Amino acid sequence: MKKIGIMTTGGDCSGLNTVIHRIYRGATLRGWQVIGILDGTDGLCTTPPRIIKFNKDTLPIENARLAGSFLHNGHAGALNFETAAATGKLPHFNKQLRKSLQELNLDALILIGGNGSISLAWRNREIYSGLQLVCIPKTIDMDIPLTDKTIGFNTAVQQLTSFCDQLMLTARSHHRWFITQTMGRDCGQLALNAGIAIGATAILIPEIKFDINSLVAHIKNAPTDYGIILVSEGVSLRGHSGKPADIISRKLTAAGITNRTAFPEHTQRVGDTTAADRILATRMADCALHAIENNETYVMTAINDCECKTVSLNEFFHAGSVNPDPNIPDIQTSDAYVSPDDPLLDIATDMGIYIGETK
């Protein structure tokens, strides 16, 4: 009988509980034992490691739709790669992770994480030697290379769309513009997709440079005197510091354009998991279980051309833009961004949406 562990790391998002539930369901049908590791890597840094042994009542199916992670993703002061590096405990941290995983006597570990977590797993792969490591990509940022979809992204787009739908009503009532700042870090996928969904007047993302005067002119020439400008949090304006939405708001105010800022913040990371994300979570859980059956290791589940299969972590890592991790010395992270060939960019232009100066 195989013994597998599940761990969620990094930021939370909708869909984590769905994939946890589906892994447990598929594993028990195979006669396997399933444990959950609490608080990500922090749960492996105590003696004994903090775990939950799954049974049919641990995570009821009706709760699998809920946002967040039943296993938690850490807490303030949790010991992870970043905090260990900051406190000079990285060698001890790596040793403790390996020791705890050996004590748990796992045959396989399914790590559900973002591009940072998966990059770290590959760069520190010796920690997981002796067991099968299968990663499942989750993030609202959609910044993971080699997969067309990540768990949590669809729900985040829906959450942001619903938020902006309500803003649009008060915008119309008061003849004003709302500059809404989205999450997404250095990747503009969340802003781009939600912007297309709501019919934004402008979408500003980190991948495309824009001119503030062109933006002002576009707003002044818009067919309405209200609407929404979506600004990704990773956007920067030369010579300015602060939140992008605040900077742009001041520029519009100076140009005589009535506006307000709005920050949906963590509402983008919650909400009942959409059907699309539940289906994706189920497909990736099934793919991960098949990978364990096939004795695969150091792999990630991925959706490409509607097909769900595994790709090697080595291939994942080198397929993206490999950048130094700003918080962990000598560690790099593989990032994906909005491609210049993304069809949504052309669609935005065709719909009269201002997206910057390159299109």
- Tell me the catalytic residues: 141
Q: What is the residue type of 58? A: T
Q: Over the range 132-151, which residues count as b (16 or more CB within 10 Å of their CB) and which as e?
A: bbbbbbbbbbbbbbbbebbb
Q: Whose CA is closest to 109, among 136, 138, 75?
A: 136
Closest among 348, 341, 337, 342 to 195, alpha carbons compared: 348
Within 13 A of 68's CA, how many CA atoms are on the CB side?
10
Q: The dihedral of CA 186, 192, 193, 198: what is its sign? A: positive
Dihedrals φ, ψ of 114, to 5°? -90, -170
Residue 175 in contact with residue 186, Cβ under 8 Å?
A: no
**CA 101 – CA 124 distance, rounded (Å):** 14
User: Which 8-state DSSP code applies to residue 354?
Assistant: B
Cα gap 134→114, rounded to integer Å:
13
Q: Please, what is the end-to-end C-alpha distance for the chain in angstroms?
A: 56
- The C-alpha atoms of residue 121 and residue 125 are separated, in whole angstroms, by 6
In 3-state terms, what secondary structure has residue 186? coil
C-alpha span between 31 and 17 (Å, rounded): 21
At 127, list the tokens: 């920690």
* C-alpha span between 297 and 88 (Å, rounded): 30
Residue with the two structure tokens 């005589």: 256
